[in-house]
Chain A
Amino acid sequence: MPYTANKPSRARSSDELRAAIPGWGADLDPKDRPSVPKEQFDPGLNGARWDFPERQPEKWPRERSIEHKFLTPVFGTSAPPRGVSGVIRKYSYKKYSEGRAAHWLLLLAADRVDAWEQHLASFGSLRPDNPITETGVLSEFSRHGVTSRFGKKRADLNHQWIDPILVGGPWLIAGGLGFAAVRRLARLRRT
């Protein structure tokens, strides 16, 4: 009990634990662990042959945090900004630091815009987006979707029903709007 000085313990003795658990106490000394101390200054630690790395060529104006003094010498080149989402992203990087909620909220908004820009663009391509195959939901049938969930006291069942609405809802709305637009056009043609 914490109401008196001695530590209550239900632990087995160290000898019992050493006998029962492979490797018990192999890293017993807190000072002899790989990340202790947290900072271990050694500029030669990594065997690098540079003080500052050579710069990677910048093939397009690379967006960067305004908390950086300059563009980092190496950076990722996946998915350059494009379209309306790209405009939002570039604005967010140019205007707001990482300390501002607006920075992250704009980036999240740009992510949603990006997804719909690319979904719409895919319909003009040879490979339109297919939410059935791309969500992997068919594995519900081959990987025990029902028996994995029910009778298991899982805490996540209270919100999993939201996922199909979040994922499928916008597609159903978009499909409905598209259908209504086509029907309206057809009516206009007839009159």
Chain B
Amino acid sequence: MRAMVYRGPYKIRVEEKDIPPIEHPNDAIVRVTTAAICGSDLHLFHGMMPDTRVGMTFGHEFVGVVEQVGSSVQNLKPGDRVMVPFNVYCGTCYFCARGLYSNCHNVNANATAVGGIYGYSHTCGGYDGGQAEYVRVPFADIGPSIIPEWMDEEDAVLLTDALATGYFGAQLGDIVEGDTVVVFGAGPVGLFAAKSAWLMGAGRVIVIDHLEYRLEKARTFAHAETYNFAEYDDIVVEMKKATDYLGADVVIDAVGAEADGNFLQHVTTAKLKLQGGSPIALNWAIDAVRKGGTVSVVGAYGPMFSAVKFGDALNKGLTLRMNQAPVKRQWPRLFEHIRNGYLKPSDIVTHRIPLEHIAEGYHIFSAKLDNCIKPLIIPGAN
């Protein structure tokens, strides 16, 4: 089969690999029909995530058709069209039994501090991902769902991570009616978090980024007020002014490890790998939220330490909430919202790239060329 393969920092290519075999009775092999590149894949691409091995296939956002199932699989059969959450999870460990699917304890031999994620380094379990023609899906009876007949394939692929994560991020904010919600980052997760904040009754939604074309999308797609932080000397002060010096009730960090806005922080993290993540957006979130407010973190950070302003968080009495999204828990409600027309996830897709050209797809997304917001990967396309 053809598969994207990591060749070292900033380098990937498409190679011929063996179709993955069934390795466990509850495995399925899925033929991928659409995959996506996630902003967090760029952390791998840039060599920031420890134990990212040459030869791994990335990709934790994918949908496809079941090709083969293991002997104990009962809920799926070959030919089923399925969407697969980015979490690999068993369904029965201490954490899964409590709905914390992203924190499963039975699928990641390499680390206890993170669950299993497809195509996301050995730190997240060492599973090959879906930017390929075929992918192994463990616990096929637990994670995947059959895509409803009425659902568009591109909406389905965005439900496997970006939309579920953005919606989850808004929930972590514990938004109540009339709250002012600030979202750092106008990428896919930030756009969906902003859109979700309205569903939860926000009174104002403000999105902050430095890419004007993404802020334009935040205005039109997510009905948000926007600020380009590169236009201001100090974006925290602007947020205080925008809230009559109170601060926002809720701030969502939808940026994560490669945040821009401070040269030293960015370079020590993204270039020199001396921190687990550039804490610029997180520190702005801590400073921009009001005392007693809530900071929700869904931007991805690595396992190393980061220079976070913890004293401010303490002294302001903040609630800090965070996790990788337990994706499938969000799906029934998100299906309703899509059916009701409240959400149309595929509106943020900007690029559809054949698998054979995936290296260019990563560069376009990484360097923010061509007004790229969300690139999809299409195996088998020319």
Contacts and interface: CB of A to CB of B under 8 A. Distances in A.
B175 interface: yes
Interface string A37-48: 011111101111
A4 to B, nearest CB: 11
Contacts of A71: 109
Interface residues of B, number: 119
Contacts of B91: 45-48
A79 B369 contact: no
Interface residues of A, number: 106
Given A23-B199, A54-B72, A46 B96 contact: yes
Query: Which among B105, B200, B329 has the greatest number of chain A C-beta atoms within 10 A?
Result: B200
Given A23-B342, A98-B113, A162 B271 contact: yes
Tell me the dominant secondary structure on chain B's binding face.
loop
B198 A79 contact: no
Contact of A14 (B51, B174, B177): B177
Interface in A153-167: 153-156, 158-160, 162-163, 166-167
A191 interface: no
Contacts of A17: 198, 203
A155 to B, nearest CB: 4
Given A39-B100, A155-B210, A76 B125 contact: yes
Contacts of B354: none
Given A26-B337, A136-B362, 11 more contacts: A14-B177, A27-B333, A34-B171, A35-B168, A76-B128, A78-B122, A129-B7, A130-B13, A134-B7, A135-B359, A167-B9
Interface of A: 1-2, 7-12, 14, 17, 20-28, 30, 33-36, 38-43, 45-54, 56-57, 62-65, 67-68, 71-79, 81, 85, 89, 93, 98, 101, 104-105, 107-108, 110-112, 114-119, 127, 129-131, 133-140, 142-145, 148-149, 152-156, 158-160, 162-163, 166-167
